[in-house]
Structure 1
Amino acid sequence: MVAVTIANTLGAMQIGSTLAVFLFGIVTLQLDTYIQLFSDDKWFLKLTVATVWSLELAHTICVAAEAYRGTITFYGRIAAYQRYPLMGAATLLGGLITCVVQCFFCLRVWKALPNPLRYIGAVCGAAAIVRAIGSVFLGSRVIIAKTLAEYRQANGWLIRALLISGTSIDVIIAASMLYFLLKKRNSGFSTTTRLVDRLVAYTVRTGLLTSITAILVLVTFEVFPETFIWVGIYVFLAKLYSNSLLSA
């Protein structure tokens, strides 16, 4: 068992929150680019982007505020730092962000693939909504939990289930889009082929990035449960989803 220290508890959370704020800056830059270049998009897409950015703003505030509580408010009193209400709110918001982004890509799968393969998008979308409900429940449990150990012991199975399901949804969506793109590639001209190659590379990168990060959260949760290493990684997972949405 790894010894619990300031470095792998508050230090890990501080690093994770710093990365989260940095990625929120990238999301904001992406939003500015979107507004300038895609002002004629459909209202549904504009609403989706606005919703994700608003959720990200609230998520970032919660993550930064929780890091402040741990490092400043409870400075020198680490033993008293047992409750994490703002991290619970961030967990809840992160689940909603992930749901919106995954449903967006599920809708793409539904529109792109022929019957009956298009139902992959519908099934993944339903799974994403169920996963979001679980995330909201987890977030509420963090808010009322008296200690992180209590929360982890009571809800460890659900944390594992949500991380595994999120990774599975990402992989299935990416694989479905790759199937569609590769079929187009084989039937296209050279110019189209080059464009499809870029889309294939993008699909692989975005799907792998969120999946690998979710797996890292799961592994660190299992191997270093007493530390905050898994928390430090989890706090910026939602940002990667938002980055992938706005990149698309």
Structure 2
Amino acid sequence: MSSPFSAAQLAAITNAVKELFAAMFIGFCISTTLYGISVLQVYLYFRRYTKDRWALKTTVATLWTLDTLTTIFVAHSFFVFVLGILNLKNDIDIPWSFTAEKLLVTIITFISQCFYAQAIWKVSQKKATTAFITFLTVSSFSLGIYTTVHLFQNPALTSISTRGFLIISGLVQGLAALNDIVITGAFSYYLHVNRTGLPSSEKLIDTLIVYAVSRGVLTAIAQIMFLVLNVALPHRQFWLPFHMVVGKLYVNSVLTTLNVRQTLSQSEIQFGPGMSFLGKDIAEMNEQNQIITKPTSALVPNPSTFGSVRRGSGIADVEE
């Protein structure tokens, strides 16, 4: 019995299978590894920071729940995509799980960037900077919701390669990447301008700047690579690994920001047990007998970053 496909068609199908499987397999392996790291970070967070406010705990729990669902949806879409091509289907639709995972990644990006917008506001009190970051966050989120609705309404695989969809999808990744760069630059700038010249604070500020830059670079690179490969090669699947990992990079960046507080406080300044780091300035901590055990001065950013700072001076004066 002769094959309904010519040799050229079979070769094209084989290449498509190899490319799709390789792209999704690589993305799935990296994303599940990052998910394992996020599970560990969530465990450490709830074990170490029992005094954190309920709003912050809810944010962490929400991000972990969304991260778990994206892992499940990625696994399901991986199975459906590969199975469809192996069955030699020419009219494969985008699995609902793939579109749902895209929606959850959009929400994760929104929550994470709002988290950093609030952190920058509490460190700098600069309305213009915070407003610009918020504008980029809301714009990227709105366009991301639009593209998600479009995919639910047009599940054909060819719909993601149309010119209109590529333009809007490119804007989503471009705005998100720009926002990551702005957030990184704002953190670095406001930490730098609060330098005092004291060795203790200089070391801490350098540590915070290096961390802020590394955090922003990872998410920005993932968004930029997603954008470039998706727009430049719309009929190829090289962009899939970056799409599958970008949400997990955001989740891990927020969790690392929260979990690193204890390490920084122990290495630079020693606080009493049970300190929240959230919503408390130095005076309030002193009133609760959570006094630093050695005289020093350090810049510790306000809630949602690494600690608290007395408004006005930019420096927390420490008592003995």
**What is the alpha-carbon distance in structure 2 between the residues aligned to residue 81 and residue 13 of structure 1?**
16
The residue number in structure 2 matching 1:127 is: 136
> Which residue among 213, 227, 251 is the counterpart of 1:242?
251
User: 1:150 pairs with 151, 159, 177, which one?
Assistant: 159
- 1:191 has 2:200 as partner: yes
TM-score normalised to structure 2 length: 0.72
2:63 corresponds to which residue?
A: 52
How far off is 1:88 after superposition?
Answer: 0.6
Q: Give the distance between the partners of 1:146 and 1:212, measured in 2 at CA.
A: 28
Structure 2 unmatched runs, 5+? 1-11, 258-320
Report the CA distance between 1:103 and its aligned residue. 0.2
The residue aligned with 2:191 is: 181
Q: What amino acid is the match of 2:213?
A: V
Which sits farther off after the overlay, 199-208 or 223-232?
223-232
Whichever structure has more helix as a proportion of its residues is: 1
Match in the other structure for 1:12:
23
Equivalent residue, structure 2, for 1:95: 106
* Aligned counterparts of 1:192 and 1:75: Cα–Cα separation in 2: 60
1:138-178 CA-to-partner distances (Å, cap 9, x unmatched) read 12222332422223304111111111100111111111110
Deviation of 1:44 (Å) = 1.4
CA distance in 2, matches of 1:7, 1:202: 38
- Report SS of the residue matched to 1:79: coil
Residue in structure 1 matching 2:73, options 62, 72, 75: 62
Does residue 1:212 correspond to 2:221, yes or no? yes
After TM superposition, the score normalised by the length of structure 1 is 0.91
Taking the aligned partners of 1:177 and 1:16, their CA distance within structure 2 comes to 30
State the match for 1:161 in structure 2: 171
Q: Structure 1: how far apart are the matches of 2:119 and 2:155? A: 42
CA shift, 1:196, in A, is 1.2
The structure whose Rg is larger is 2
Q: CA deviation at 1:28?
A: 0.7
CA distance in 2: counterparts of 1:76 and 1:8, whole angstroms: 16
Name which of 230, 235, 238 aligns with 1:229.
Answer: 238
1:123 maps to amino acid: F
RMSD: 1.7
Gaps of at least 5 residues in structure 1 are: none
Deviates more, 1:73-82 or 1:21-30: 73-82
Runs of 4+ in 1 over 6 A off after TM superposition: none
Q: Distance in 2 between matches of 1:53 and 1:136?
A: 20
Whether 1:23 and 2:34 are equivalent positions in the alignment is yes
1:234 is aligned with what amino acid? H
CA contact (8 A) 1:16 1:232 kept: yes
How far has the Cα of 1:78 moved from its partner? 4.9
Count of residues paired in the alignment: 243
Choose which of 195, 211, 214 in structure 2 pairs with 1:202: 211
Q: Confirm or deny: 8 A CA contact 2:184 2:213 kept in the other structure.
A: yes
Alignment partner of 1:81 is 2:92: yes
Q: Please report how far the alpha carbon of residue 80 of structure 1 lies from its aligned counterpart in structure 2 after TM superposition.
A: 4.2
Per the alignment, in what secondary structure is the counterpart of residue 127 of structure 1? helix
Please give the alpha-carbon distance, in whole angstroms, between the structure 2 residues aligned to 1:221 and 1:151. 9
Offset at residue 73 of structure 1 (A): 5.7
